[in-house]
Structure 1
Amino acid sequence: PPVLVNHITAPNVTLASAIIASAAVPGFINPVRLQLKGPDGVVRVQAENKDQTYWDGSIEQDIPTSGLAEMLNCQFFVTAQCNPHIVPFLFNTKGDVGRPSRWSSGMREDSWRGGFLLSALELYIKTDMIAKLHFLNEVEAAIGFFGTMFTQSTYTGSTTLVPHVVLEDFFKLFSDPNLRDMHRYFQAGSVSAYQHIAMIKLHYRIAHAL
């Protein structure tokens, strides 16, 4: 099961080691040990369970909504989804928050993005791929992380921020970004967040009232 490392469960874990562990993608980056900061201010590697290591949990369970809801009493979740193996499958046939579809008519709110035929074709291809991954997982024929991809994970929240991704980004997954890339990433993230501001405000008001 995923380990929820936050200010409640592990207040002495350093942010740097937690970030590195969260970015340790299985098969590409080796698991790491967490670092702890003691009362004396000295940072040490975790003493207990020295063989216990941590890695990115986005393959088996990307967003532990159940654990977070129980621990923090959350009703809504703001999710930023940037995983390259997930983003291509996030497709809203009739528009999304802040991105309404106006393909068929300038006034209709139920227009299919790109037209009905193209939208239905893309939806069919993506759902068919997910169904095949489920089948391969059931017959234990999936290799590596494909065994749990889309079968045991929650990849969206109440509000899901999905920055605009271009083909160039997939060729830079394991390379250090330059200054130009960072500016583009921040710009795309800001635009995606602004589109969901109204929905986030609404969720906050409901949660605050509850």
Structure 2
Amino acid sequence: AVCASCALPGLMRPVEILAKDKSGNLVPFHPPDVKSYDGTITQDIPSARLTELFNCNNFIVSQVNPHLNFVLHLAEESHGRRQKTARSYQRRNAVQKLLRVANFLLLNIKYGIQKLLEVDLFDIRFVRTLQGVLMQDFRGHITILPSLKWRDYSKIGAQPSERDMQRFIT
């Protein structure tokens, strides 16, 4: 399911989702020859739907999107840690300023999208998709972030190796 969630059409091949039967054997979850891929970019974490279907109210999210991982790590770094040195205090201060600028830019983009909807200049489906991408919350009540290395960003769009998958999971 994780591989299917990460399989972007055109970048990564679709995968077959497996399930365990009563005896613990892996069997196809869908009928034969049905492959799955990430078909939504506007609902990365479908919390409203999960709440409706399963009465869940709290979510543990493993967020591996590389562009979000970087930002969420910055946000995590700017909160909660005690600063022991003047240098670490300066770093935290710089990160907080960077996050404020990013938040300001995001709010302005959201405002611009709202205005685009009002003036009806663009295809409404495009604007709604853009709005859905920017306005969704990518965090859960508990958010698990893998420690990505800079070289991992060079592999964006490539099928991860078994070794990479193990490292991301652990």
What's the TM-score bracket when you normalise by the shorter of the two chains?
A: 0.5 to 0.7
How far residue 168 of structure 1 moved from its aligned partner, in angstroms, is 1.1
| The structure with more helix, counted as a fraction of residues | 2
Q: How does 1:63-74 map to 2 (within 5 A)?
A: 63-74=45-56
The answer to whether the Cα contact below 8 Å between 2:3 and 2:15 also exists between their aligned partners in 1 is no
Q: Distance in 2 between matches of 1:156 and 1:113?
A: 27
Q: Distance in 2 between matches of 1:125 and 1:160?
A: 23
In the alignment, which of 98, 103, 110 is matched to residue 122 of structure 1? Answer: 98
Unpaired segments ≥5 residues, structure 1? 1-14, 36-40, 47-52, 96-100, 106-110, 191-210
Q: How does 1:150-161 map to 2 (within 5 A)?
A: 150-151=134-135, 153-161=136-144
Identity over aligned residues, as a percent? 25
Q: Distance in 2 between matches of 1:34 and 1:162?
A: 23
TM-score by length of 2: 0.62
1:175 equivalent to 2:140? Answer: no
Q: Distance in 1 between matches of 2:17 and 2:145?
A: 29
Structure ranking higher on relative contact order (CA contacts 8 Å, 6+ apart): 2
How far residue 166 of structure 1 moved from its aligned partner, in angstroms, is 2.0
How far residue 185 of structure 1 moved from its aligned partner, in angstroms, is 2.4
Rate the CA distance shift 1:150–1:112 in 2: closer, same or farther, 3 A.
Answer: farther
- 1:137 aligned partner: 113
Rate the CA distance shift 1:70–1:112 in 2: closer, same or farther, 3 A.
Answer: farther
1:16-54 deviation digits (Å, cap 9, x = unpaired) = xx953x33425645889999xxxxx994357xxxxxx97
How far residue 79 of structure 1 moved from its aligned partner, in angstroms, is 0.5
| Partner amino acid, structure 1, of 2:32 | R
How far residue 147 of structure 1 moved from its aligned partner, in angstroms, is 4.8
Residue-pair matches, total: 147
Q: Distance in 1 between matches of 2:14 and 2:161?
A: 26
